[in-house]
Amino acid sequence: MNLSDISESKYLASADYQVGDTLGPATITKVDREQVPVPNKRETKEKLIIYADGFAKPYAVNNTVKRTIGALLGAHNIDKTWIGATLTIKVVDNVRRPDGSVGNAFRLDSVHKPKAVAQVSPLMQEARDLYGKYKAIDAEKADEMKARHGKNYAAMVAELKTVLA
Could you read off the pLDDT of 22-42 as tens digits, one per residue?
999 999 999 999 999 887 778
Same domain, 154 and 92: no
> Does residue 141 fall inside a structural domain?
yes
> Does residue 117 fall inside a structural domain?
no
Neighbours of 31 (CB within 10 A): 20
Judge whether residue 53 has pLDDT over 70. yes
Residues 6+ apart with CB under 8 A from 60: 11, 12, 34, 36, 47, 48, 49
150: domain range?
Answer: 122-164
- Counts for the chain of helices (H) and strands (E), in that order: 6, 5
Same domain, 81 and 49: yes
The pLDDT tens digits of the residues spanning 109-148 come to 999 988 765 667 888 888 888 988 888 888 899 889 989 9
Residue 103: predicted pLDDT: 87
> Does residue 83 fall inside a structural domain?
yes
Same domain, 94 and 160: no
Angle of helix 139-149 relative to helix 122-137, nearest 10 degrees? 150
Same domain, 153 and 103: no
Same domain, 21 and 96: yes
Cβ atoms 65, 92 nearer than 8 A: no
Same domain, 59 and 134: no
Mean pLDDT of the chain: 87
Same domain, 127 and 101: no
Residue 1: predicted pLDDT: 52
> Does residue 77 fall inside a structural domain?
yes
Angle of helix 139-149 relative to helix 153-164, nearest 10 degrees? 150
Residue 4: predicted pLDDT: 47
Judge whether residue 2 has pLDDT over 70. no
Same domain, 88 and 143: no
End-to-end CA distance of the chain: 63
Same domain, 75 and 127: no
- Looking at the structure of the chain, the number of domains it has is 2
Same domain, 129 and 60: no
Angle of helix 122-137 relative to helix 153-164, nearest 10 degrees? 40
Same domain, 73 and 27: yes
The pLDDT tens digits of the residues spanning 74-120 come to 888 888 889 999 999 999 998 887 778 888 889 999 999 887 656 67
